Structure 1
Amino acid sequence: MEFDLIARHFTRATPGAVLGVGDDCALLAPSPGMQLAVTSDMLLEGRHFAPQDSPAGIGHKALAVNLSDLAAMGATPRWATLSIALPAADDAWLAAFARGFFRMAELHGIELVGGDTTRGPLTIAITAIGEIPPGQALRRNGAQAGDDVWVSGVIGSAAAALAYRQGRLFMEQIDAAKVLPALYLPAPQIALGIALRGIATSAIDISDGLLADLGHILERSSAGARLEFAALPVLPVLQAYLHEPVARECVLAGGDDYELCFTAPAARRDAVRAAAETAGVAVTRIGHITSGPGLTVVAPDGQPLPVDKTGYDHFDE
């Protein structure tokens, strides 16, 4: 049964691997002179997605969140492994999941080279592998005082969609429809990460919330930051709800954006904008790195904005 499921839904040609699905291990040969970037993420039903969510959407998101980590390092995606625990062998669910997974994989040139299946609570674990030239990885520890802080795309939409779904944020149905895709179909910023090689001094993807993830850069870089709340890029439909504390929390600490937050010297602003144009992605300068510790968000009136929550806690009940 297990091998039939694998063969039916997950065995595809892998011309970029020495050996793909079908043996005890995959055999991979990185391109000459390249380093491997490896990341793993796990998604659990009831924690990261709901039982009623589309299996195709779950397949898309499960791979997208891993590719977002590669994007944050400036890596080019190459391969992935996929392990799934299933309550039962549900052929229709797996077929739809595989459609979403492989649609994302084909978009970014990823080959599935192995994995595992077993019975258990619905859990998806993916390891994604990319390549990057030595010395060009975007890391978290390079931010310097005076660097600009940038984000790609818009933030807060996915968290607002979840808050709406949970009944914590009232939105008109027509407005909610504009933020829901961000929750279910995130787009990893692979092209931007690659374009920022040699320009950005640090980078991270926004998975747990802007303040929490930027906080990781500040911790590793022994620096602080000052952000302008009015500069944060949000959809116009969400802008209309920012008088609500929960909406402001979605923007600052909601997570699930999978945009890039990165730093670069002020002298490289033109290079950042050129990289963004090459990648076809909008970027916004939202603040700057400070020499002293701490992260301050400044309200439009110039006063520090009180922040009760900085991001998603994986162990919070």
Structure 2
Amino acid sequence: MRSAGKPRYASVMTDPADFSQSPPQEAAPLDEFSLIRRYFHHRQGDTVVLGPGDDGALLVPPAGQQLVMTQDTSLVDRHFPADMAPADVGYRCLAVNLSDLAAMGANPLWFLLSLTLPEVDEDWLAEFSRGMFELADQAGISLVGGDITRGPLAVSIQATGSVPPGLALRRDGARVGDQICLGGVTGAGLLGLEQWQAGQRHGPAIGHFRRPRPQWELGMALRGQASACIDISDGVLADLSHILQASGGLGACLDEAALPEDPPVLAGCSADKQRALQLQGGDDYLLLFTLPAAQPVPRGCYCLGQVDAQPGIRLRQRNGAVGALTVAGWQHF
């Protein structure tokens, strides 16, 4: 993990390129190496020979495994609110990457952190790293390097996991007749965002928005079982369409009656609002996967519909009528 660019705190140094000089002020700020040692050195797994602090990490890949790599960048006021607690920012930004590893059925191993800061705020860094490492410890993933630079607040994480050869979950394996399954109740991510924007700071949906729970255990359990898998970041309809397109342009029919009614996390929403949140909301970071028709649905998950050969996504309403759905979800641009 290293520093890049001209840091804002270089204003107290006579030469920004020389981090060995003492500032003229009475108290010296931490340089980038001190920041790394103080906030980003953490216990690591057996596969890490050399972690943060050098020009690169030395890692030992698990024998006989394939590596899965993913990366996401989170921008302030685009992917997380500026007034979100730094511990939640750290947790949430890592969760997004762990969810991608889960969608591939990967066992989390290592991650790199690229952190862009408008200024050095040690209280913010302490809380950010605390939240990030709280989730890292739960997942058993090690921070092995990265960089720190100056600019508008942004967090970019590259995560790596491992999977046995031939058992990675992919988007392109769905088949006609497969069950379409969800790893839990969707909609809390978007509802939590809406409530946050309305000034609320507490409640089940807010809690999910602040700290989504990536399903890496479920992803690994689906190895050799699921025919296709994706994590729900953009909404059920949008992400399901990715699976259908990758699997040869298939379609799907969803069952409105299969949607959980009045789940606690969506309390207070009308039936129409709940349906919209569950089908179109993003930021859930639950797994959406397809299973062969004879395969039992894992505990805690539910079947929402079936893959078919007719392109497009349709919804069978509770009265039996079937209508086409417009695919909508989170847009990055």
TM-score by length of 1: 0.90
* Structure-2 separation of matches of 1:233 and 1:291: 26
Q: Deviations over 1:73-125 (max 9, x none)?
A: 11000100001000001110000000000000000111100000000000000
Pair 1:179-2:209 in alignment? no
User: Per the alignment, do residues 211 and 23 of structure 1 end up closer, same or farther by CA in structure 2, a change over 3 Å counting?
Assistant: same
What is the root-mean-square deviation of aligned Cα atoms in Å? 1.9
Match of 1:10 among 25, 37, 40: 40
Q: Give 1:237 deviation, angstroms.
A: 5.3
Other-structure match for 1:202: 228
Partners of 1:199 and 1:264 within 8 A in 2: yes
* Structure-1 separation of matches of 2:260 and 2:60: 40
Secondary structure of 2:260's match? coil
Match of 2:154 among 123, 126, 130: 123
Partners of 1:16 and 1:111 within 8 A in 2: no
Q: Give 1:177 deviation, angstroms.
A: 1.3
- Which 5+ residue runs of structure 2 have no aligned equivalent? 1-30
Other-structure match for 1:267: 294
Q: 5 Å matches for 1:74-223?
A: 74-167=105-198, 177-222=203-248, 223=250
Partners of 1:71 and 1:188 within 8 A in 2: yes
Q: Deviations over 1:151-204 (max 9, x none)?
A: 01110011111122334xx9xx79x71211110010000111111111100000
Match of 1:301 among 287, 297, 319: 319
- Which 5+ residue runs of structure 1 have no aligned equivalent? 277-281
Structure (1 or 2) with the greater helix fraction: 1
Specify the code of the residue in structure 1 equivalent to 2:233.
S
Specify the code of the residue in structure 2 equivalent to 1:49.
F
Structure 1 stretches of at least 4 aligned residues deviating more than 4 Å after TM superposition = 305-309
Q: Deviations over 1:128-154 (max 9, x none)?
A: 100000000000000000000000111
Secondary structure of 1:138's match? coil
User: Per the alignment, do residues 237 and 205 of structure 1 end up closer, same or farther by CA in structure 2, a change over 3 Å counting?
Assistant: closer
* Structure-2 separation of matches of 1:240 and 1:67: 30
Secondary structure of 1:149's match? strand
Pair 1:310-2:328 in alignment? yes
Partners of 1:38 and 1:129 within 8 A in 2: yes
Other-structure match for 2:96: 65
TM-score by length of 2: 0.86
* Structure-2 separation of matches of 1:309 and 1:298: 15
Q: Give 1:297 deviation, angstroms.
A: 2.0
Which structure has the greater CA radius of gyration? 2
